[in-house]
Amino acid sequence: MRPLVGAKTQQLISRVFTPVSPVRWRAAQTRRSCGSSPNGEKPRPSMLRHLTSKIKATGPISVAEYMREVLTNPVTGYYVRNNMLGPDGDFITSPEISQIFGELLGVWILSEWMGGGRPKQLQLVELGPGKGSLASDVLRVFSQLRSVLGEASVSLHLVEVSPVLSRLQAQNLTGNYSQEAGAEDEPIYRRGETTTGLPVSWYRCLDDVPAGFSIFLAHEFFDALPIHKFQRTEKGWREVMVDIDPETPDRLRFVVTPSPTLASSTLVQADERRDHVEVCAEGGVIIQQLARRISEDGGAALIADYGHDGTKTDTFRGFKGHQLHDVLVSPGSADLTADVDFSYLRRMAAGGVVCLGPVTQRTFLKNMGIDTRLQVLLRNCADPSTRKQLISSYDMLTNPAKMGERFHFFSLLPAPLPVAGFSELSFS
Ligand code: SAH
């Protein structure tokens, strides 16, 4: 353990790191000031104290480290402690809005499994499954279309960092048929059987999921992964860090580093044209793992999230009680998120797989037959309030002004086999 630095070192740190000026980083200021900046709000002592001790000990921390600590610190992290999804939580997601969403994804999965040659084993792997609603809707489609799956053996694999949410997922998917692992360091920390009789396992990271033909789902997962932030300055690219505000010791502020950091030297593209960029290196690593698995074992990945194709600048924001929330206020009490840069994911996926999209959620769901599915459900439903709810959730998912154009779908699929003459002739 390092000793805490003294007041002199503190002053030095404050001097060498430049506070982010309103002119140089206007977007961040605007975004922060449009939050429901809860001035009277009490800070959460434990997370704030943890962060300020860390900064006092080692200096300002990167935005990526800040986000990782705030969201997934094993003791005080936002995801680790909370159930944040739904009308009473901080935000609501498409699978929570309508069962149709998960059902259409279930059909997509079956169609990719058929396209992959109907392998005998099908692993459904979900990253960040929230309450388990998406997996549950997908599995309902699997049992309704059991005859299509034939003899294939299906298993469910959930990658989830939050013990609170994993318990909720277990309850929703298995009823009481799941058990926690005896030892804390087991790669599978919980296992059970779904209500439809399929084996289900929980992991903390993707690395621990067994190899094999898999369909990977990641809905609103990549936006929760830590981002680095970089600012173009007269002296070149510099990294944005989080520091203690010297004027108010229990407040945090953004600063930019006086010289390049390892991250600013390696993560910003040489031909970058924007003045401010966010790079989710952790998301890049996960995409590379998915690409390798898909090219070696077959399968596909479907990633759905809000995002852009390498055009946006500052998108880092907080959500609390369905309102925007200042990312530096009361850390650990609100969700932190940043738009997914699909152009970065495509670059990191590289060869071995082909990338499709991003296409808007509206386009994807319409192509998957959401209008027909809605008509079928309406035809079988006489209750006026359920009908109203079906129509309004359809509107929420597809309306361009609501979730229809803010959310995008992106997919990784195995690259087609090389064709002799267009690549080198080889016999395998
Ligand atoms: N997919 C769900 C939940 C989205 S919220 C839905 O759309 O409703 C983000 C989810 O990712 C939560 O389940 C959260 O606990 C999980 N998560 C966040 N960071 C993670 C990480 N680094 N590793 C694994 N799971 C993570």
Q: What type of residue sits at position 281?
A: A
Selected residue with higher pLDDT from 363 and 178 = 363
Mean pLDDT of the chain: 88
At 421, the pLDDT band (50, 70, 90 cuts) reads confident
At 14, the pLDDT band (50, 70, 90 cuts) reads very low
For residue 129 and ligand 1, the question of a CB distance below 6 A is answered with yes
At 87, the pLDDT band (50, 70, 90 cuts) reads confident
Candidate of 127, 221, 319 to mutate for ligand 1, largest count of ligand atoms within 8 Å of Cβ: 221
At 110, the pLDDT band (50, 70, 90 cuts) reads very high
* Alpha carbon distances (Å) from 412 to 212, 249, 262, 407: 16, 46, 29, 17
Query: The CATH number of the domain where 212 resides is what?
Result: 3.40.50.150
pLDDT tens, position by position, 211-234: 999 999 999 999 999 999 999 999
For residue 358 and ligand 1, the question of a CB distance below 6 A is answered with no
Query: Mean per-residue pLDDT for 187-207?
Result: 96
Sort 184 into a burial class: Cβ within 10 Å, 0-12 / 13-18 / 19+.
Answer: exposed
Give the residue among 336, 335, 396, 332 at the shortest CA–CA distance from 361.
Answer: 396
At 91, the pLDDT band (50, 70, 90 cuts) reads confident
For residue 72 and ligand 1, the question of a CB distance below 6 A is answered with yes
For residue 162 and ligand 1, the question of a CB distance below 6 A is answered with yes
The pLDDT of residue 253: 97
Instruction: Determine, yes or no, domain membership for 389.
Output: no
Selected residue with higher pLDDT from 352 and 77 = 77
pLDDT at 34 over 70: no
Which ligand 1 atom is nearest residue 218's CA? 1
Ligand 1 mean position, distance from CA 31 (Å): 24
For residue 224 and ligand 1, the question of a CB distance below 6 A is answered with yes
Query: Mean per-residue pLDDT for 54-75?
Result: 96
The pLDDT of residue 428: 61
Candidate of 65, 72, 79 to mutate for ligand 1, largest count of ligand atoms within 8 Å of Cβ: 79
pLDDT at 165 over 90: yes
At 90, the pLDDT band (50, 70, 90 cuts) reads confident
Ligand 1 mean position, distance from CA 17 (Å): 33
**Structure token pair of residue 405:** 């154009």
Show the domain range for 191.
82-227+280-301+310-338
Give the residue among 22, 57, 2, 72 at the shortest CA–CA distance from 243.
Answer: 57
Cβ distance 335 to 319 under 8 Å?
yes
Q: Whose CA is nearest to atom 11 of ligand 1?
A: 128
- What count of other Cβ atoms lies within 10 Å of the Cβ of residue 358? 24
The pLDDT of residue 28: 30
Which ligand 1 atom is nearest residue 128's CA? 11
pLDDT tens, position by position, 340-379: 999 999 999 988 899 999 999 999 999 999 999 999 999 9
For residue 209 and ligand 1, the question of a CB distance below 6 A is answered with no
Query: Mean per-residue pLDDT for 332-344?
Result: 96
pLDDT tens, position by position, 272-323: 999 999 999 999 999 999 999 999 999 999 999 999 999 999 999 999 999 9
Percentage of the chain beyond pLDDT 70 is: 89
Instruction: Determine, yes or no, domain membership for 407.
Output: no
For residue 339 and ligand 1, the question of a CB distance below 6 A is answered with no
Instruction: Determine, yes or no, domain membership for 344.
Output: no
Q: How many domains does the chain have?
A: 1
Instruction: Determine, yes or no, domain membership for 93.
Output: yes
Q: Identify the DSSP state of 421.
A: T
pLDDT tens, position by position, 258-270: 999 999 999 999 9
Distance CA 73, CA 36 (A): 25
Which residues lie across from 325 on neighbouring strands?
318
- The set of residues, in sequence order, having a beta carbon less than 8 Å from that of 254 and lying 6+ positions away, is 19, 20, 25, 28, 63, 240, 241, 242, 243, 328
The pLDDT of residue 27: 29
The pLDDT of residue 81: 80
Q: Find the distance separating the first CA and the last CA of the chain, reported in whole Å.
A: 55
Instruction: Determine, yes or no, domain membership for 400.
Output: no
Distance CA 304, CA 219 (A): 5
Instruction: Determine, yes or no, domain membership for 48.
Output: no
* Alpha carbon distances (Å) from 309 to 199, 280, 343: 37, 13, 5
pLDDT tens, position by position, 116-156: 999 999 999 999 999 999 999 999 999 999 999 999 999 99
For residue 138 and ligand 1, the question of a CB distance below 6 A is answered with no
Instruction: Determine, yes or no, domain membership for 290.
Output: yes
Selected residue with higher pLDDT from 410 and 40 = 410
Instruction: Determine, yes or no, domain membership for 195.
Output: yes
pLDDT at 80 over 90: no
